[in-house]
Structure 1
């Protein structure tokens, strides 16, 4: 264990939360089949659980579905509410419980007991049902803010000329001759002796699937899962960059050796690994006096590695590990609380007091850390995320108005050369389903073709009892809905995974009797091409549904899909867990 432990987890797997039906007896059909709860009406075959009707353990709640409220136990320990960093080894990271980049100032605030939290959760769920229902019921009244009304796509997600090229060019992923996949391998969960442990990070190369395990990073054969190499580490992997350099190098943040007389080790070590060779190329830390500075985030941007935390940020040369800059106190109490990488390097910078910080989004010179462009976030923003560095796009919950724990009420499209705001894009939490946590921790959002693509909330489909959603886009220059729309299809919900040139790679979460799908959505026509359909076997679904869309790592390339967890907890009786699962076509 590397961090102070949280309260002991429940002795049993979560049972679905407030109002949940009891688990089905052995052999009884599961998700979507008729159930016999005491109060809610029985589900019909093909019907997914509705709003306010919690899912069974191991099931994936759909978009907008409040089956698992923030703060409830999950198969991987306590589910953190927004405003809390997922624990690394149990330690709460303060930058999400408090204004970003500022440590706790002690005292204050009312605590909500469990009963009150459940009641609040139920009220929020009902409000969400009503809000979403009203939106779709009244979508014919003008249609100004309705993605469906502004869409040129039909029910298949096509629309326009199917051969219309995407602005950012053609993708590399090709339609297979047979899209039906098989399970390549499953990586069993490592044995965790303490409460929880970080296993952050997964990457695909043309040689290996690379996944962080318990105090290690391991390269696996792409098709068999056999271990190709292993990098042992002195502590857990607290954070990992999603970005990889052209020569397949990436950055991780991990804990050092357990100090004598201590029960935890902080996340102080920054390293770069070669995921082709399976080598830790260098390992560095920075000090403030005699103490090593603890970080909570790490990324690769350009030729720099950036590590951020409540005490500020540091940067290192990717190739050598040479320190380029590190936290230094100043009169304005400014600090880089986190970085976002990729083609460029950007930061969320916090200045001023903990109670009223001034946040800015800055594009940086990766050699010096000097700001190239700077945009001051509006008043009422005490946390922010960076969705993309080039083009520069930020996200925030302005004044905590989203109300759904997503961390997003608005996107900010920023000119990365001048710092001028191009467009502010409101995203109503009752209509759209993006999610952002830390500086670079946004999921279900991708940027490309001069647009930002987001999923809509789950809603009723055309069939009886069916649920579905769409992926739509906003123009980064104007902030307006573009008319793009790709439909998940009856009883499916979907979210974008990544861009592939100008195409969107998306995962479709399936109904009870189908397997999940991976599709490529043409960024010009929004026509969908099926790349993969996973087995519909219940045994396979029982594994895949443990990888929660909002927090799991989804990686797709060259006909292979990998799902993995970022956090591992102690094993619980009757609940089988996996570190990762891989699928392949052909």
Structure 2
């Protein structure tokens, strides 16, 4: 039986031949779930199961001797290329722990009113600004002093990863279940701009279902599995709230942007098929539409330029992405990269024509954990190199210094963590920053399941909120 036609937009590209599916590079695979706003990889319908599986897996790694683990958040929606850090000259290899922030008592008792989504961080106006369970707080990057705090009307459930100027929007839940409130704040002044309930067309539902919130060119857009709405970023007025019916073929439920290009993911009710569109973010004009191969579910967009999407295959679909697919500027499939084992596709970082991933950790003879960083060619899907990076540690790619991949290596007992750059030609490592041994235990405890940011030659480590650690934030320089 012939499938009904795809969304009535042109042009359309139907190059979805996956016969060129590349062999699986050894030892890497499903990523940790994405963070709140649907990002890479938290955009599937089974975020809760993936989160639970990840917590168990990482706990086992800790018991096995890892003593820590972590992943990097770029503070932007699903784009793992991230802002490339400026290369300082000269770099000081030995660092110091400049300051830390203790976890507030109120953040240690968050289970009673629901579990908050992964936090989001922004760097602006000399501050590092982070969402917490029930508020947004700014800290001075040099001294760690609190600059301002904005309470949330409920528990955080999603946040825009990229502000629009100084305006950023977040979503919250008053009852710990339904994510149905939207609030915008000014990151410069630390003041609330507006607060609006999420409008609903269908009285039978209470929220949009695993919503993503993003900002672009004066607009705040909330997308979910059932409805979508667009607010004006300035005053919160509703600009568009389409009323869909069973006869509507497709709806947008995810989107990613780098500010120049907008990538939209459409979910269509005929055959439960998905489509990826590239749009002009200023005009909304469609460049092309790419149809996901049948049996695959698009989970996120690790990189907009070059375009890389993560997908899950199987029926029912796997909890974690099973493949990465690179798509050409013309909207055609370039390569399908299989993800196997227990690695972290959610930590994929992309530069030019290469994706860098971390393999799963494996136990060494002295009961520690180590892994490898793998470079994959986006045009052919073939592995370029695989490197242990040095030392019995677990390493996570977090960004770039120039054209060199930047890797964070977790702290060990009595030895601080490291930042290492890799030669893009063969992966040979060079130590870039070395954290002090005196704070190794604090560093390891915060980085375990936490977030790693490198900004303006400073390393920031944020703890996982549900671990209820002693320290919320560490800053090294």
TM-score of the alignment, normalized to the shorter chain, above 0.5: yes
Instruction: Encode CA deviations 1:460-512: one digit per residue, 9 max, x unaligned.
Output: 66x755542222222222222233x4533121111111234433222111333
Structure 2 CA distance for partners of 1:495 and 1:86, relative to 1, 3 Å: closer
Instruction: Give the Cα–Cα distance (whole angstroms) in 2 for the partners of residues 87 and 205 of structure 1.
Output: 21
CA contact (8 A) 2:322 2:340 kept: yes
Structure 2 CA distance for partners of 1:458 and 1:209, relative to 1, 3 Å: same
Instruction: Encode CA deviations 1:83-141: one digit per residue, 9 max, x unaligned.
Output: x99999xxxx995239x9xxxxxxxxxx9xx9xx9xxx99xx9xxx9xxxxxxxxxxxx
SS at match of 1:446: strand
Aligned to 1:172: 86
Instruction: Give the Cα–Cα distance (whole angstroms) in 2 for the partners of residues 290 and 169 of structure 1.
Output: 39
Q: TM-score, normalised by structure 2?
A: 0.72
SS at match of 1:545: helix
How far is 1:304 from its partner? 4.6
1:415 corresponds to 2:364: no
CA contact (8 A) 1:169 1:501 kept: no
Instruction: Give the Cα–Cα distance (whole angstroms) in 1 for the partners of residues 83 and 254 of structure 2.
Output: 31
Instruction: Encode CA deviations 1:229-254: one digit per residue, 9 max, x unaligned.
Output: 12222112211233345x45443222
2:384 to 475, 482, 505: 482
Aligned to 1:226: 145
How far is 1:268 from its partner? 2.4
1:97 corresponds to 2:9: no
1:214 to 104, 110, 133: 133
Structure 2: gaps spanning 5 or more residues: 1-25, 65-81
Instruction: Give the Cα–Cα distance (whole angstroms) in 2 for the partners of residues 202 and 171 of structure 1.
Output: 16
CA contact (8 A) 2:114 2:155 kept: no
Q: Which has the larger radius of gyration?
A: 1
Correspondence list, 1:272-421, <5 A: 272-289=184-201, 293-294=207-208, 296-301=211-216, 304-318=219-233, 321=236, 323=238, 325-330=240-245, 331-343=247-259, 344-352=261-269, 356-367=271-282, 369=284, 371-399=286-314, 405=319, 407-416=320-329, 418-421=330-333
Instruction: Encode CA deviations 1:44-71: one digit per residue, 9 max, x unaligned.
Output: xxxxxxxxxxxxxxxxxxx989xxxx9x
2:435 to 534, 537, 548: 534
Structure 2 CA distance for partners of 1:546 and 1:180, relative to 1, 3 Å: closer
Aligned to 2:373: 471
Structure 2 CA distance for partners of 1:296 and 1:290, relative to 1, 3 Å: closer
How far is 1:310 from its partner? 1.8
Which is further off, 311-320 or 206-215?
311-320
Instruction: Give the Cα–Cα distance (whole angstroms) in 1 for the partners of residues 207 and 363 of structure 2.
Output: 49
RMSD after superposition: 4.2
Which is further off, 446-455 or 236-245?
236-245
Correspondence list, 1:427-438, <5 A: 427-429=339-341, 433-435=343-345
Aligned to 2:124: 205
Aligned to 1:237: 156
How far is 1:581 from its partner? 1.7
Q: Which has the higher contact order (CA 8 A, sep 6+)?
A: 2
How far is 1:521 from its partner? 3.2
Larger relative strand fraction: 2
Aligned to 1:505: 406
CA contact (8 A) 1:196 1:568 kept: no
Instruction: Give the Cα–Cα distance (whole angstroms) in 1 for the partners of residues 401 and 233 of structure 2.
Output: 25
Instruction: Encode CA deviations 1:137-165: one digit per residue, 9 max, x unaligned.
Output: xxxxxxxxxxxxxxxxxxxxxxxxxxxxx
2:461 to 556, 560, 563: 563
Instruction: Encode CA deviations 1:143-193: one digit per residue, 9 max, x unaligned.
Output: xxxxxxxxxxxxxxxxxxxxxxxxx99951325334222151123144235
SS at match of 1:582: strand
Structure 2 CA distance for partners of 1:286 and 1:369, relative to 1, 3 Å: farther
1:581 to 458, 473, 477: 473
SS at match of 2:297: coil
SS at match of 2:441: helix
Residues matched between the structures, number: 412
CA contact (8 A) 1:302 1:345 kept: no
How far is 1:284 from its partner? 4.4
SS at match of 1:561: strand
CA contact (8 A) 1:534 1:583 kept: no
How far is 1:522 from its partner? 4.7
Instruction: Give the Cα–Cα distance (whole angstroms) in 2 for the partners of residues 401 and 310 of structure 1.
Output: 17
